Structure 1
Amino acid sequence: MDRLNTGRRQFLKQAAILTTAAAVSALPGCGNLTVSRRHFDISLAQWSLHRRFFSGEANPDEFATITRDEFDIGGVEYVNQFYKDRLSDALINTLKTRADNAGVRSLLMMIDGEGAIGAASEAQRQQTVDNHKKWADAARQLGCHSIRVNAQSEGSYDEQRERAADGLVKLAEYCDPLGLNVIVENHGGLSSNARWLSQVMETAHHPRVGTLPDFGNFVIDRDTGESYDRYQGVRELMPYAKAVSAKSYAFNEQGQETSIDFPRMMDIVMATGYSGWVGVEYEGEKHSEAEGIRLTRDLLRSLR
């Protein structure tokens, strides 16, 4: 019960910060108040280099070295897809050594393909939790603060909320002694409905369960085109955020992202008092991966 009360108090505190900051910024002459108080560190999501790694042009084991040497970024967010068939203590030791040698912080392990955390039956949910455990152990060895999971489920709106929350709590109970958070990204389906995902957070009501708001992943149904307003979505997910993903697609000649208003988005992020890491995740086609990463990094630096 104490743990649940702690999580509830944390949520209420963050919500109060958001409400107060929004009210203050609306006062005459206070529109840029948050700008002078901003602090966040910049990390790199490994998916930004997925074409390079999948093609064999570069070795994903060198991710931390590339992050420092090529982009001068000090934090990394791993993606399990690049290591799925060869996870071992030797691999994790290699990744950790290279991150340490490069002076790079290992922050997240993003996990895909290990089952639905909100599966219909309790047995299926438990199997998904068990599938995630090896990646949680690897994240702990690397020194990460969180694992990123997907809130995939099935059933009605309410059933999916309850089932996803149950699976997340089960996984959080394993991760808590490891010092790891379990965070959910808006990543398609109902998870891209920020109202639903916020309700999952409240239902889970666990201090280790949180969100990873992504600036770009708000398409709920690709077939119908149904989507959630990205700015409202990030605003609703930030009270639970333990990391942030600055998704980008394309930039103009002035270095501004052309489909996402980054200044507006970072105003929303900073209004909550967030001061953690903001991850560069370039996913566009207009620029090369390296150019897209640098453009996103530089835009974030200019907003800091």
Structure 2
Amino acid sequence: MKLCISSWSLRSEFGTDGIDMIEFIRLAKEEFGADAIELLPMHISPPTTPKPKGSFGGGEWEKMSEEERQAMFKRMMEHVRKIYKTRPTNLEEVKAALDKYGVKVMNMPLDYGDISNPDDETRKEDIEILKMWIDIAAFLGSKSVRVNTGFRSSEKDLNTIVSSYKELAEYGATKGVAVAMENHGGVSADPKNIVKIFEMVNHPNFRICPDFGNFDDDIRYEALDMIFDLNPILVHAKTYDFDEQGNQTRFDFGRCIEIAKKHGYDGYYSVEFEGQGDQFEGVRKTIALLRKYL
């Protein structure tokens, strides 16, 4: 089993009184037995400003009113923009820790910008920031970066999205970093859009990162079956909460694994625990599920 741990799984543990990226790398190897990580930019450097109150994970988002969601999203985006526009100053230390513990970076999820934006100037600015993070990914030896489809969610925006992905995939190829798309909301909530985007981009450096948890319940398994045909570079083994038997309760985790097996996938599974409660325990229970089915 090829095991990867996403820093998102321990999102609440990062902070002035918690762990930093160096400690996370150690934990991935020594606590969880993984030789690969997914590294979120917001977790690389020690925090200099407090994170906005609230979280998208752990069920908090579902409990909010629409007004609360919009206000929180605005605060989070302002915080994220500050992070992404600043190159971390501790990259050498992070790289040294990766070498020390024998851990590689499989992917860097980039939650920045809007590659669907019809405003050419604004979109170009976003793409330049994303290219800077591709450079950072290359420095850290990351195999890929994940770039979201953007905030426009109609099919007519596909041409803009495709053009942006082509530019990023071509740039990433010069750096040895693949550009990955995930089923992560917006137009990517529909697997038919994902397939269409891949057909239109048609670039060997453009890859898919299937996420077990992100499709709607009524299409989850059919949709995963469709996108596993698109040459995954990584799989998000997402979990939420568990029952007393250690089973993930939101959806059929084992069925998702069977779909991956059906398509001959033998790459890394990245643990992305997004449930409530102890996040360390959530990671351990997710690893146990992966071992059970793999």
Q: TM-score, normalised by structure 2?
A: 0.81
Show the counterpart of 1:222. Answer: none
Show the counterpart of 1:87. Answer: 87
Show the counterpart of 1:98. Answer: 97
Show the counterpart of 1:239. Answer: 229
Cα pair distance change 1:146/1:228, threshold 3 Å: farther
Show the counterpart of 2:52. Answer: none
Decide whether the 8 Å contact of 1:248 with 1:284 is kept in 2. yes
Tell me the SS of whatever aligns to 1:132: helix
CA distance in 1, matches of 2:91, 2:255: 38
Decide whether the 8 Å contact of 2:138 with 2:177 is kept in 1. yes
Select which of 66, 70, 74 maps to 2:27.
66
Tell me the SS of whatever aligns to 2:247: coil
Cα pair distance change 1:155/1:238, threshold 3 Å: closer
Residue 161 (structure 1) shift:
1.6
Decide whether the 8 Å contact of 1:77 with 1:106 is kept in 2. yes
Decide whether the 8 Å contact of 1:126 with 1:170 is kept in 2. no
CA distance in 2, matches of 1:263, 1:147: 27
Residue 54 (structure 1) shift:
4.2
CA distance in 2, matches of 1:98, 1:275: 27
1:16-72 deviation per Cα after TM superposition (whole angstroms, max 9, x unaligned): xxxxxxxxxxxxxxxxxxxxxxxx411001100101114641113422112112212
Show the counterpart of 2:66. Answer: none
1:106-138 deviation per Cα after TM superposition (whole angstroms, max 9, x unaligned): 11111112x111211343333222111111111
Amino acid at match of 1:106: V
Decide whether the 8 Å contact of 2:152 with 2:187 is kept in 1. no
Show the counterpart of 1:121. Answer: 119
Show the counterpart of 1:42. Answer: 3
CA distance in 1, matches of 2:201, 2:223: 19
CA distance in 2, matches of 1:117, 1:242: 21
Aligned residues: 254
For structure 2, the 5+ residue unaligned runs are 45-82
CA distance in 1, matches of 2:144, 2:20: 24
Q: TM-score, normalised by structure 1?
A: 0.79
Mapped pair 1:171 → 2:161: no
Show the counterpart of 1:183. Answer: 180
Show the counterpart of 1:273. Answer: 264
Decide whether the 8 Å contact of 1:120 with 1:154 is kept in 2. no
CA distance in 1, matches of 2:269, 2:15: 24
Alignment RMSD: 1.8
For structure 1, the 5+ residue unaligned runs are 1-39, 220-226
Decide whether the 8 Å contact of 2:111 with 2:148 is kept in 1. yes
Residue 202 (structure 1) shift:
1.1
After superposition, residues 151-162 of structure 1 pair within 5 angstroms as 151-154=149-152, 156-157=154-155, 159-162=156-159
CA distance in 1, matches of 2:275, 2:153: 33
